[in-house]
Amino acid sequence: MISTAQRSTVVGSLLLAAQIFAVTLPVLLPSAAAAQTPAGSVDPTAVPRPVLRAHAARSAIVLDGHLDEPDWIAADSTEGHFWTVTPEQGMPASERTVVRILYDGNTVYVGARMYDSEPHLLVSAGLEQDFSAPDSDIFGIALDTYLDRQNAFVFAINPAGAIWDAQAFSDGNNLNTAWEGIVEVRTSVDDQGWTAEVAIPVTTLRFNPAPGGQEWGLNFSRIVRKRNEYSTWAALPRQFRAFRMSLAGTVVGLPDFQQGLNLQVKPYLTAGRSDGRLRPTGSERYADGGLDLKWSLTPRMTLDVTAFTDFSQVEVDEEQVNLTRFSLFFPEKRDFFLENDGIFTFSDVRASGIRGGSGPENFKLFHSRRIGLADDRSTVPIAAGVRLNGRMGGYEIGLLEMQTLDERGTPAENFAVARVRRSVLRSSDVGFMLVSRQATSPGFDDFSRAAGIDANFRFDRFQVNAYAAATDDAATAGDRTSASVQLGWRDPVLDFSVLGKHVGDAFAPGVGFVSRTGVDQWFATGGAHFQQPFAGVTEINPHLDATEYYALSGTLESRAVTPGLTLVFADGARLTAQHTRSFEHLENADTILGIEVVPGSYDFDATSVTFQTSGGRRVSGSVAVTRGGFFDGDRRSERASVTLRPNAHWFFQGSAQRNRITLGGQPRNADLFSARIRYGHDTRTFLSTLVQYNRTTEELITNFRFNLIHAPLSDVYLVFSERRDLDAGAGIPAILDRGVSLKVTRLVQF
């Protein structure tokens, strides 16, 4: 229970936040409220949901980026307005967009004509799959093939013909960008704009049989990068995107497609050397093979099987500098675990458009990086795994089991996850999760169990997220529970959120991640989003956050009160300034960057300013500066990055992070530098290099990757990686890790 003293401190922090908010808001925004409804705009929710009829193709469609076949000319079209979502909600789009849909027995075709008065200013942010869509001109498609107004397959195409694809769940609240489907695209650019011709095989999609013909939820979107304009066919409020399927339109006239067996088999072969040399001689060479299988048992239930899994093609982690007393979070990058990971999500939530006091980087009951990766980020071989996930009636079901092999003294382990979620109301859910980790090597009996229940209630503007969880293992004793409740509100102008969270001192999910244990956290935030307040500024967002952490004994451990202001400019650039007043209390000594911080209470302030240019420019970048106190010392931090994208083929990026801190009278530097180069010869052939230097550890990390997509979802990878100690002394190996690998995959679809 929270004590009277705790309540007083929390209330004091929130009152201080409210006072700063109340004082600054009228001064900064005297006329912003009047600018919220531009002349000529409409209420997006009052505009009727549009309908488009698909037509059968009577002759073969040649995919060439030109809509010149007679069937395209005769088909129904979206003639009329696209409606802007940003920068001004509910206005007719500045450029005309016309879309048509055709089909034959095996394929759905989408033809889109994007008129543009300045086609020489079109931006294509790369040729690779899953390019940076916000930094590019795009045409987007969202298909709700089950017509449940909750889930969608999402595709985006840029003028150069690259594709970005994803799956959206829970009415757009969860997005799985790791999903990949077989889709063919051709584009063309002329003096009146650009054209996209898209062929989506029905085997790429999932849908229910419908003897009378298919009707799917549908929305189209478009980004005009030079104007920072995002518009959609079915009008949306500014806080949503095209995969908000409860507000989508509908495509009618589709036939009852036959999906076939819906079986994909992808074998792979890999070979390499752990010493990094290409010549295959010596004891360090290896050759192996494996298999991935995907089978849609029902239209909404998919079985994935993997054997002798290999992730050698995955790019290395991005290095981080830790200026806290707590563990860093590294995201999952392996496609097998990322695909359909939405069903396995049990974590703190970052609600759309709302700042939160916690997120997945602070708490995840199941974090798949704990499978096949040791704590030092070295790989542990995976023997096999199976995953079953999908929907049965109103239930979402996810089952996962993986078996690893023993490696360098690490025992073989079995990992099992069971997840069930029940859909309630329009776009809400309740569910539970069970997670198990069990050593299976002889002589080892280590285990870890975790279980939890959660509920997520989502309405148009209001959201409630809550969970309760517990863990069990043989190594810890104490409070093994965790619980959280978060309330959030987001409308076109205002956002608010409050959070209460408890994490026991012995709460230890063996296949999860928790950044801070043994605390009770309280958080509140409020902000406003005023549109078009000044010339050249599309949004001004004052905000105020307040958070506190208490030890389980009731002692205040941490407090941070942060007023801030964000400006969004007409071209998409952003400027954020904020000031944080912090308090930290240490009962015991701790270390930061190897310096001991003695027990005691510390008050300190810091100010930070961040500016980020529009990512749609050929030369873009960002810079951030922080100055202020740091426990009993001070902190000076600078972070900068520069990106050069001369055309769709080349991408250059350099970044530098410099941190100068003083603790206990001891100065310490913590710097991080990186350089990234990508070259796309076309949408199937790529080279990339990432070089990182971590001055804290004196390590130089190099990763080179060549990728050839020789057939749909079939790849050839050649990867070289090295981790080098630049501070190695005499007799100490400078090369910490080095390897070169060749991997070939081939997808066979039935």
Q: What rounded mean pLDDT belongs to the chain?
A: 89
Same domain, 54 and 171: yes
Helix (H) or strand (E) segment spanning residue 544: strand 537-551
C-beta separation of 739 from 721 below 8 A = yes
pLDDT digits (tens, 9 = 90+) for 232-276: 999 999 888 999 999 999 999 999 998 777 889 999 999 988 775
Number of helices and strands in the chain (H, E) = 3, 44
Q: Is the pLDDT of residue 155 over 70?
A: yes
Is 525 contained in some domain? Answer: no
Tens digit of each residue's pLDDT (9 = 90 or more) over 594-608? 899 999 999 999 999
CA-to-CA dists, residue 488 to 394, 451, 492, 523, angstroms: 25, 25, 14, 11
pLDDT at 531: 86
Percent of the chain's residues with pLDDT above 70 = 93
Rounded to whole angstroms, the Cα distance separating 234 from 513 reads: 39
Coil/strand/helix, residue 613:
coil
Q: Residue 383 domain-assigned?
A: yes
Contacts for 366 with CB less than 8 Å, ≥ 6 apart: 344, 346, 417, 419, 433, 435, 450, 509, 511, 512
Give dist(CA 213, CA 402) in Å, integer.
40
pLDDT band at 436 (very low <50, low <70, confident <90, very high): very high
Does residue 728 sit within a domain? no
The verdict on 250 and 329 lying in the same domain is: no
646-673 confidence digits (pLDDT tens): 999 999 999 999 999 999 999 999 999 9
One domain, residues 214 and 331: no
Q: Are residues 162 and 52 in the same domain?
A: yes
Residue 14 has pLDDT above 90, yes or no: no
Specify whether 227 is located in the same domain as 352. no
C-alpha distances out from residue 165 to 44, 131, 568, Å: 26, 10, 27
The answer for residues whose C-beta is within 8 angstroms of residue 8's C-beta and 6 or more apart is none
CA nearest 671: which of 690, 658, 687? 658
Last-in-domain residue among 235, 254, 273? 254
Could you tell me if 226 and 328 lie in one domain? no
pLDDT 10s digits, 458-515: 888 899 999 999 999 988 789 999 999 999 998 888 999 999 999 999 999 999 999 9
- Range 348-364 average pLDDT: 86
pLDDT of residue 513: 96
- Residues 245, 151, single domain; the answer is yes
Domain for residue 50, yes or no? yes
Q: Are residues 228 and 331 part of one domain?
A: no
Shared domain for 445 and 360, answered yes or no, is: yes
The pLDDT value recorded for residue 471 is 97
**Position 450 in a domain:** yes
How high is the pLDDT of residue 731? 67
- Stretch 614-620: mean pLDDT: 92
The verdict on residue 182 lying in a domain is: yes
More confident residue, 149 or 30: 149
Looking at the fold, whether 349 and 476 belong to one and the same domain comes out as yes
The residue among 489, 509, 529 that closes a domain is 509
Average pLDDT over residues 365-390: 89
User: What percent of the chain is helix, strand and coil (3-state, nearest 5)?
Assistant: 10, 55, 40
DSSP state, residue 407: B
Residue 737: pLDDT band with limits 50, 70, 90: confident
How big is the chain, counted in residues? 750
CATH number of the CATH domain containing 173: 2.60.40.1190
Q: How many angstroms separate the CA atoms of 604 and 595, rounded?
A: 18
Quote the domain boundaries for residue 116: 39-254
- pLDDT of the residue at 583: 97
Q: HSE, CB side, 13 Å, CA atoms: give it for residue 723.
A: 14
Residue 637 inside a domain? The answer is no
Residues 210 and 342 in one domain: no
490 with 397, same domain? Answer: yes
Domain boundary among 478, 509, 540: 509
Tally of structural domains, the chain: 2
Measured distance CA(147)–CA(297) in Å, rounded: 20
Burial letters 198-232, b for 16+ CB under 10 A, else e: bbbbbbbbbbeeeeeebbbbbbbbbbbbbbbbbbb
How far is 95 from 159, CA to CA, in rounded Å? 15
User: Tell me, what's the pLDDT at 174?
Assistant: 79
Contact 731, 300 (CB under 8 A): no
- pLDDT above 70 for 24: no
Worst-scoring range by mean pLDDT, 21-30, 417-426, 539-548, 628-637? 21-30
pLDDT (tens digit, 9 = 90+) per residue, 168-216?
Answer: 988 887 788 888 889 999 999 999 999 999 999 998 998 988 888 999 9
Question: Is residue 316 over pLDDT 50?
Answer: yes
Residue 587 lies in a domain: no
Residue 22: band (very low, low, confident or very high) from pLDDT cuts 50, 70, 90: very low
Reported as a single tens digit per residue, the pLDDT across 26-71 is: 444 444 444 455 666 889 988 999 999 999 999 999 999 999 999 9
